[in-house]
Amino acid sequence: MLSMHTSPLDQPGTGDAGGMNVYVLQVAARLAEAGVAVEIFTRATSSDLADCVMAAPGVTVRHIPAGPYEGLLKQDLPAQLCAFTAGVLRAEAARPPGYYDLLHTHYWLSGHAGWLAKDRWGVPLVHTAHTLAKVKNALLAEGDTPEPLSRVVGEEQVVGEADRLVVNTPSEAEDLITRYDAEAAKISVVPPGVDLTRFTPGDGTATRRALGLPPDAYVLAFLGRIQPLKAPDLVLRAVAELRARDPEIVKRLHILYVGGLSGTGLQRPDELHELAVHLDLARRVHFLPPRSGDALVDIYRAADVVCVPSFNETFGLVALEAQACGTPVVAAAVGGLPVAVADGVSGVLINGHGAGEWGRVLGRLLREDGLRELLASGARTHAEKYSWSKTAAGLLCAYRETLYARAAQNARAGLRRA
């Protein structure tokens, strides 16, 4: 696997680390459990990193030097593609011929490195985009910066060269077909999963107490990178609208933001804090650093509702993790979120990003304990349809089909030569 721009070992929720990091590490571990040895190549971002790290039994993360360790933004990384690709090829050259059977690249930058490696090694290339520039640009937040033409062209090239494209949802497959002229026959739909043994329902009282929240507080949570694409400001604007209609609810309401600045959010680091002050909600808002493991589970359990107001999400792992913890989700009906959230069963999907409608929905969920409890029960049931083991099984099926197709292609070429 190639994951050039972000390491699966990085903490999700800050910088360029997010759901893709979770995806790569989790599926690699499950593939290894199924008997597939996995090596993940990523760019080294610190001199303190070991060349190789055993991330899980059967899963090795290789850190490839490519450019300065620190100070490079994602938009700077295309200039380091040559160095990164050279490092990947050199690692393979130290192995016996035919050591790797298949390449799976993640994000378009890795796809370009994989494009060269697949030709050099004579193996098929499977690619997962995770996000698509044309889709992001079509659903851009107001004032946000569009993805550059170089990325659009780069994605088109990878789509054309990949032997198989793995997507999270049927809507993503449709985007590839209609926006990138992808061949439907080489697309496999494999939904992501969730760790159902870690993310489970439980009592969030201790977490609320540790955060200094009153025992009778209503708690909304936003988890993820703080950037315009994720629309974190919409939660504040929705609460301001709710206060105009039901001030008593807002007197008991607290909002948790769990995540770090990322992307174009780095250009306006104080914007969310300033908005909270402007809307007179600063006392209701708690900004927390990204969390992982049990500390992340505790946040989901402490929340009454998790908000996912993004302008686009290829899937939305935060929504799935929250639901696995028995916490209802209110999400924008975009991208893969209509798959990740079962509208009216595990949460509520909202068309659009109007603060009034978001405030109305959040107010109803907070007022009606019975409705919230019903959705909480449905949340866990819905999440149980997804697991990383199922994702790995779907990937194995896609890998087999790709390998069989490559073998048949080679056989036909051999007959033509004969």
Q: From the annotation, which residues make up the binding site for 1D-myo-inositol 3-phosphate?
A: 5, 16-21, 74, 107, 131, 151
Which runs of E-coded beta strand occur in 244-336?
Answer: 253-258, 285-288, 305-308, 329-332
Q: Is 352 exposed, middle or buried (0-12, 13-18, 19+ CB in 10 A)?
A: exposed
DSSP 241: H
What is the separation of C-alpha 108 from the centre of its chain, rounded to a whole number of angstroms?
Answer: 15
Calculate helix-pair angle for 369-383, 317-324, nearest 10 degrees. Answer: 110
What is the secondary structure of 302-319 as a DSSP string?
H-SEEEE--S--SS-HHH
Q: What's the CA gap between 241 and 245, in Å, rounded?
A: 7
Which runs of E-coded beta strand occur in 57-108?
Answer: 59-64, 103-106
What is the separation of C-alpha 6 from the centre of its chain, rounded to a whole number of angstroms?
Answer: 12
**How far from 223 is each of 283, 307, 320, CA to CA, in Å?**
19, 8, 12
What is the secondary structure of 113-127 as a DSSP string?
HHHHHHHHHT--EEE
Please say whether the beta carbons of 172 and 131 come within 8 A. no
What is the C-alpha R_g of the chain?
22
Q: Is 91 in a helix, a strand, or coil?
A: helix
Q: In the chain, how long is the greatest CA-to-CA distance?
A: 82
Q: What's the CA gap between 312 and 230, in Å, rounded?
A: 7
> Residue ranges for the binding site for Mg(2+)?
300-301, 303, 327
Calculate helix-pair angle for 293-302, 317-324, nearest 10 degrees. Answer: 70
* 282-299 per-residue burial string, b: 16 or more CB within 10 A, e: under 16: eebbeebebbeeeebbbb
> Residue ranges for the binding site for UDP-N-acetyl-alpha-D-glucosamine?
11-12, 19, 225, 230, 291, 313, 321
> Residue ranges for the binding site?
5, 11-12, 16-21, 74, 107, 131, 151, 225, 230, 291, 300-301, 303, 313, 321, 327
Q: What's the CA gap between 245 and 247, in Å, rounded?
A: 6
